[in-house]
Amino acid sequence: MNILDRYHAMEYGPAPEARNEADAWLAARDFGRALFIGGDWKAASGGKTFETSEPSSGKLLANVSDANAVDIDAAVAAASKALPKWSAASGYQRAKVLYAIGRAMQRHQRLFAVLETIDNGKPIRESRDIDVPLAIRHFIHHAGWAQALDKDFPGHRGVGVVGQIIPWNFPLLMLAWKIAPALAAGCTVVLKPAEFTPLTSILFAEICERAGVPKGVVNIVQGGPEAGVAIVNHPGVQKIAFTGSSEVGKIIRKATAGSGKKLSLELGGKSAFIVFEDADLDSAVEGLVDGIWFNQGQVCCAGSRLLVQEGIADALIAKVKTRMSRLRVGSPLDKNTDIGPLVDLTQLDRVKGLVAEGARQGAVCWQPDAALPSSGYYHLPTLATGVSPANILAQEEVFGPVLATMTFRNTEEAIELANNTRYGLAASVWSENVNLALHVAPQLKAGVVWVNGTNMFDAACGFGGYRESGFGREGGREGMFEYLTAKLPLGPVIKPATTSAQPVEQADGSAIDRTAKLFIGGKQVRPDGNYSLAIATAKGKLAGEVGLGSRKDIRDAVSAARGAKAWPEATAYNRSQVLYYLAENLSGRAGEFAARLTELTGATPKAAREEVEQSLERLFLYAGLADKFEGRVHQPPARAVTLALHEPVGVVGIVAPDSSPLLGLISLVAPALAMGNTVVAVPSERYPLLATDLYQVIEYSDIPSGAINIVTGRSAELAGVLAKHDDVDGLWVFADAETCAKAEAESIGNLKRVWSGNGRSLDWASDEAAGDAFLRRAVEVKNVWVPYGD
């Protein structure tokens, strides 16, 4: 046999990773005392444990303490006790602790990698080369943020005690994503890992002991749903950070409604992997391997929907099948393995069920001819072709090694198919034409877009989604804001509106009767129900009547806002000019608006004039910032730049307060408009005539039809309609506490971003009630990764 024959005959031999150190660690550990609370190891107060097993064999690894509500109380108490000293520590002191954690993890990174693979089932190459190094990177990166906090985030402080709940697909990496920014911000932590994968979090707690983390700053509690519920509902927790399914995310959003807790959710996804006809197909195939078969497809941002241009579809599918046939399925501790087992039998059964249902709905499911190991929870890589956009494999997150394929004819159809999902976490765009790629990326409803790459992550770059993929960002500057708070200037407690009970003295009939309509789609229209609401002056006389808006009117307004493409597509400079012009036209009627304020609110003429002047100043502020509140360029340690683009949230519903009725309305509407959002505003229920007087000003200020819509009526009722409307992307509510809580609870249909005053108004005249704090709520941050070099 010559050398060439030997080359062709070569086969992969076994290349097992040694697990003796991990087994010794498992044997030496008392997992019955696995709760790390206040710097001590404790058993669960109820004495319960749960099993964690090895996915590759099903064999039992350990019986681990199962925390209950009593244990969560103890953990929150420990975190609360440690909070004052930790938050008061200097940035340098916190940076030293974060750096020490990272360095200690480096010294034990092989043990972390092997434990992660044993417990989760992911191939050792992934845990060794991706998960553990990235986790270490997060702690060392955030050591820098700890020291730069005062300079880069002036006026901000840590939010307090943070409850964190992480999933089983990236146990150590998700822990690092959560804990590192929290500690950098001066927060203390109560973290609950997933029941399937507790081991590396226990090792991490041991690292915290060695690295000198003060007692109570990091508390790690193992447990199931009872522990998770206790964390979410605990009154001593000021923020919840959750990564997991969209279904559980909605439950948490509803549970925290009205509590005032800060909330970030990183949820499911159904990411599009778009291949244009000019793409390098071989590179795209390798990207696809990383996109959908990385970690067995158990990745929230997995590129599980392949969208390929028709002209190259056959060629690409043939290459994909060839590559799939060479993927090695086997022991995750073998360094030659590409695909390991799924995490648990329940996950395996779920994936099988979804594949079967997809086939029943018309998909053709292909798998390579390969044998599976005799034990463990393995599933062959699967390619589904002939998939319709409504097929379950195109719509539901499978969370397994299953790729659904569809074709498109042109760029517009590719974008439409990519956005045909309730999720919005990530996407990949493959093209040799960077102009095409950067044309498509901003049009994709996804928080992260990779150009000619996939599954690229770094601590310097934000990660997070749109729509039902959640809200908030993890990593980078954007991620730090999730653990910080800036005190807004609180105003009075808002009482429930009582306009229906107010006696109104009728007018003397000397003036021509005028009933203000609604303002929808650039026109003044009658309310659908043809009811009106009497508005009284400060002296109890009839000032006028306004339309009583209803559910149908809100639907019409949202439809008009969604159709107003000219405003979000306008340049920031153009929006700036329009807002300046709006201020100019309002200035010409300043006396009229001041008189109306005095008539309705009883304010002195001087105070009324000041409110009008402050409203003009606020408009000028946001007109000036429209083209200045910009994104950033991140530089991860890779041959790529990450463009953190500021994009409008979309359609934003605004429920304005009675206090400072003109200034409050403009302070909310102006930043939303400045960032390119379209608005459906519900003005002050008690003083809506100030908003209806704006109609004419808006009409001759060059604001495109539908960019701003105003529906007068009952604030509580209309806030509820906006909250439930799935075509509203964001909702800002300044109303009584019950209305705010209901708006948050009822927003779960599409997990829209809700900002509420929790029953308090703001001091709208203060400088703090304007600027970046408002603009951040008016944008989504999209991170677009652009590689460079050969």
Q: Among all residues, which ones are annotated catalytic?
A: 266, 300
Cβ(474)–Cβ(462) below 8 Å: yes
Instruction: Kindly state the DSSP code that residue 708 receives in the 8-state scheme.
Output: E
Distances (CA, A) of 347 to 370, 403, 596, 769: 21, 17, 63, 48
CA distances from 372 to 242, 294, 328, 341, 395 (A): 34, 18, 10, 10, 28
CB 682 within 8 A of CB 657: no
Which region, left, alpha or beta, applies to residue 302 given φ > 0 means left and ψ of -120 to 50 means alpha?
A: beta
Task: Give, in order, the Cα–Cα distances in Å from 497 to each of 81, 715, 739.
Answer: 40, 8, 10
Q: Which of 758, 780, 757 is nearest to 672 (CA)?
A: 780
The 3-state secondary structure of 608-649, one letter per residue:
HHHHHHHHHHHHHHHHHHCCCCCCEEECCCCCEEEEEEEEEC
DSSP character for 127? Answer: I
- Say if strands 515-516 and 542-547 run parallel, antiparallel, or are unpaired: parallel
| Dist CA 217 CA 212 (whole Å) | 11
Whether the CB-CB separation of 733 and 755 falls below 8 Å is answered with yes
Name the amino acid, one letter, at 299: V
Residue 67 · residue 222 · CB < 8 Å: yes
CA-based nearest residue to 201, from 301, 99, 119: 119
Measured distance CA(263)–CA(238) in Å, rounded? 9
Please tell me the distance from the alpha carbon of residue 725 to that of residue 176, in angstroms, as a whole number.
35
Task: Give the CA diameter of the chain.
Answer: 112
Q: What whole-number distance in Å separates Cα of residue 759 and Cα of residue 743?
A: 12
The CA distance from 475 to 486, in Å, is 19
CA pair distance 203, 222, nearest whole angstrom: 12
If we measure between CA atoms, which residue out of 514, 123, 507 comes closest to residue 327? 123
Coil, strand or helix at 298: coil
The pair phi, psi for residue 445, each rounded to 5°, is: -80, 75
| Distance, CA of 405 to CA of 188 (rounded, Å) | 45
Q: How many residues does the chain have?
A: 790
| Rounded Cα distance, 599 and 538, in Å | 6
**Of the candidates 387, 389, 404, which has an alpha carbon nearest to the alpha carbon of residue 302?**
404
Q: How many CB atoms lie within 10 A of CB 69?
A: 17
- DSSP 3-state of 762: strand
Q: Whole-angstrom Cα distance, residue 570 to residue 67?
A: 53
Neighbours of 713 (CB within 10 A): 26
Q: Is residue 714 within 8 Å of 684, Cβ to Cβ?
A: no
Contact assessment for residue 309 and residue 276, using Cβ atoms and an 8 Å cutoff: yes
Q: What are phi and psi of 62, to 5 degrees?
A: -165, 160
Amino acid identity, residue 518? L
Q: How far is CA 777 from CA 471, 478, 725, in A?
A: 11, 12, 19
